[in-house]
Amino acid sequence: MINLRDYQTKIVADCRQAFREGDRKVVVQLATGGGKTVLGSFMVHGAAQQRALTCWWLVHRRELISQASKTFYDMGIPHGIIAGGHASDPLARVQVGSIQTIARRLDKMPPPDMIVFDETHHIGAAQWSEIFARFPQAYVLGLTATPWRLDGRGLGQWYARMVQGPTVAELIERGSLSPYRLFAPSAPDMRAVQTQAGDYKQRALAEIMDKPSITGDAVQHYRQLCPGKRAVAFAVSIEHSRHIAAEFNAAGIRAEHVDGTMDIAARDAAVARFVAGDTLILSNAELFGEGFDVPAIEAAILLRPTKSLSLYLQQVGRALRPAPGKAQAVILDHAGNSLTHGLPDDEREWTLDDREKQRRAAESAAPVRQCAKCFRVYRPAPKCPGCGFAAPVAVREIEKRDGELVEVDASAVKEHRKAEERACKSLADWQRLGAARGYKPGWALKQFQIREQYRSRRKAA
């Protein structure tokens, strides 16, 4: 039996309270590495054992099936698996199922009393929505680190309530996630790359990123910043991923490429060699953004630019799980994603509401600067936290320096946010700041009223 952390216990209690109050569709937002699978399994166990409910745990990747099944075994939860290549146990009250397989067998299966959708930010996909709509009376629990869709639709179309766990910063502070150092180059020029389904078109993206002059020398920076550490590299395409692995191998650093088209046994063997430390670099394309939980990963190498905040946070989250002997994670951002989406532990406001176009545009605003003197990358602040250089009021654009990684220092985040807020004098100032941060309009009014009340009290005194 696995004991829950205190915040997991609270999330479980809040979800059960929502169910008791009549909200049958509840989504849990908890950062990658925060333990969504464990707390969800705990709820499934209680529903199946204490209330004799039929429960489905649904996922969209084979790796997620293995992850959920292992957790169930660890917790002593009897279960069947409904997915290609697995022998099913139709009598088990709990079933771990592939979305694709379940969708094909809906007419042949008894209806569930409770459904858990893992990585539920994919809920808008056709098969997901079909399953969701088929059982309106079922209790539904959605699990995700990032309840946002690229098309701007909120999950409120499917869920009545959201229960939130601690932020990434809070999880790092309490030791549930690893501290990190983030290094980033100037962003690659993406102006010529068109978008499709809300993200960059893969072919055009590969043409730009599969070049050392644009991505920087990943091998060099790995040697410089985290030599000997196990790292997962995120590539644009299968060919790009193979090139990354080949470059590391040519430099004498053991590396392998894996992708979803490989033989399952061969892919599992490659992952096993990585876990054992026989392979140091595991390069992949669109495979390990979700459901690859190896706490010993000490570095993430980002070589795939994305407009998706969710994908970015999923990728860096692979390296943030704590492990014995792991003092900190290292993130090597050759794709400029941190310049677009910010730091992994930035304060973010999650909501079930749809996002307006202007808010989605604000999410793409570069939130970091590069010092004109020492080229340190940091949050906008009066002075560079590295060398103390005070930038002029008209801050120049980030100078492009191909292949040079500089560290993103998170220590300036709080200082910058406070400085921004001290500069707000009117409601319009607060509204502009709130829009830039992607907050709901109500945040600006609340902050303005708090400051006005404070000023009134000081004037009266």
Structure tokens, 269: 């063997």
* Domain 6-167 architecture: 3-Layer(aba) Sandwich (3.40)
pLDDT at 197: 82
CA-CA distance, 96 to 64, in Å (whole number)? 10
* pLDDT tens digits, 187-237: 678 888 998 888 999 999 999 899 876 555 788 889 988 999 999 999 999
CATH number corresponding to 180-347+368-378: 3.40.50.300
Element (H, E) at 413: helix 413-422
Number of H helices, E strands in the chain: 17, 18
Low-confidence ranges of the chain (pLDDT < 50): 357-366, 374-375, 393-401
Rounded (10°) angle between helices 238-250 and 218-225: 50
CA-CA distance, 186 to 333, in Å (whole number)? 10
Element (H, E) at 273: helix 264-276
pLDDT at 238: 94
Q: Which residue has the tokens 């290609």?
A: 84
pLDDT at 397: 35
Phi-psi region of 175 (alpha: psi -120 to 50; beta: other; left: phi over 0): left
* pLDDT tens digits, 434-452: 776 666 667 778 788 788 8
CA-CA distance, 461 to 241, in Å (whole number)? 65
pLDDT at 366: 40
Structure tokens, 354: 């749809």
Structure tokens, 263: 């033989």
CA-CA distance, 416 to 447, in Å (whole number)? 17
CA-CA distance, 379 to 368, in Å (whole number)? 4
Instruction: Indicate the pTM of the whole model.
Output: 0.79
Beta bridge partners of 57: 96, 116
Structure tokens, 423: 């500069």
By C-alpha distance, which of 42, 55, 82, 39 is closest to 140?
A: 55
Element (H, E) at 435: helix 427-437
